[in-house]
Structure 1
Amino acid sequence: MMEETNIPLANGPAPLGEIEIAPEVIEVIAGIAANEVDGVYAMQGSFKTGVNELLGRTAHNKGVHLTVDENGLSVDVYCYIKYGASVPKVALDMQEKVKEQVLYMSNLEVSQVNVHVVGLVAPKSEDNTYLDLDTELGENA
């Protein structure tokens, strides 16, 4: 379970003062990084994020859950993958991108990134026309 306290960014004594980051900020970094991976259709949202998006607020931490424990930082990512994409490749790319971006932006090491693929999304037809076999056969019979 995510702690409500901020995460210190410096390991030693800071000469000018302490630097801390809210766990939600790490979730936002991970969410944006994961969503940028080729093959990802969308992140899984909750009812709360759906309401926020209806109100015009973008939830960049949608589909991301951070756990801080004795093992370090663990990130769980819940996403939808585009149909036809290699799920293992997309998941590996997400793991690498999330770890890389969190390290770059916060200097924090992520111990693990768990990717949960909750669904596949098929591409929509360009002209939105579908073949209705019953209609076609009825007209030609």
Structure 2
Amino acid sequence: MTVNESTGVGTPATGTGSTKGRTTIADSVVAVIAGIAARDVSGVHAMGGGASRTIGSVKDRVPGATGHGRGVKVEVGEKQAALDLTVVVEYGAAIGDVARNVRSGVSEAVKTMTGLEVVEVNIAVVDVYVPGESSDDEDEQQSPSRVR
């Protein structure tokens, strides 16, 4: 992926190259963009599977660490990107609609911010969040301290 240095507008590399340089977009950057876009969709409760969310809850406590790319795997080429997302949906949400909206929102965000063509967005729904039921993460956070 290159950026046209005279206009500042991102365009996929065409093979002719810019005379002023090249901009490379890391997979992790695309993962963060996709993760934020997916979380913005109504019906998405969380990103990532059980182990990913557990590790993420620990990382979230570290100052400066973000979990925006949690539950997102990307493959970025010179002109295209393919993404795999793991999501937890809220109980009562129509999973097909949520998946369609995630796919659309993620594709649009990645295209707009990077100029990459999104060739596929695969979505794995791994859990359903039921309000009022505590998860392992919540139990860990709400349990009283054993030391004073």
Q: Same fold (TM over 0.5)?
A: yes
Q: Which moved more, 1:89-98 or 1:14-23?
A: 14-23
1:98 aligns with 2:106: yes
1:49 aligns with 2:51: no
1:76 aligns with 2:84: yes
1:66 aligned residue (47, 50, 74): 74
> How far apart, in 2, do the equivalents of 1:42 and 1:49 lie?
11
Q: Which residue of 2 aligns with 1:85?
A: 93
**Is 1:71–1:111's contact at 8 Å kept on the other side of the alignment?**
no
Paired residue secondary structure (1:103): helix
Name the larger-Rg structure: 1
2:130 aligned residue (102, 116, 122): 122
Residue deviations 1:72-131 (CA, integer Å, cap 9, x gap): 421000010000000000000000001000000000011000010000011228xxxxxx
**Is 1:65–1:76's contact at 8 Å kept on the other side of the alignment?**
yes
Residue deviations 1:54-77 (CA, integer Å, cap 9, x gap): 324221101000124699421000
> How far apart, in 2, do the equivalents of 1:85 and 1:77 lie?
17
* Distance 1:105-1:70 versus aligned 2 partners, 3 A rule: closer
Q: Which residue of 2 aligns with 1:19?
A: 23
Q: CA RMSD in A?
A: 2.2
Paired residue secondary structure (2:121): strand
Runs of 4+ in 1 over 3 A off after TM superposition: 68-72
Normalising by structure 1, we get a TM-score of 0.75
Gaps of 5+ in 1: 1-7, 126-141
Normalising by structure 2, we get a TM-score of 0.72
Q: Percent identity?
A: 36
Q: Which moved more, 1:10-19 or 1:69-78?
A: 69-78
* Distance 1:123-1:37 versus aligned 2 partners, 3 A rule: same
**Is 1:44–1:62's contact at 8 Å kept on the other side of the alignment?**
yes
> How far apart, in 2, do the equivalents of 1:35 and 1:28 lie?
11
Gaps of 5+ in 2: 3-11, 134-148
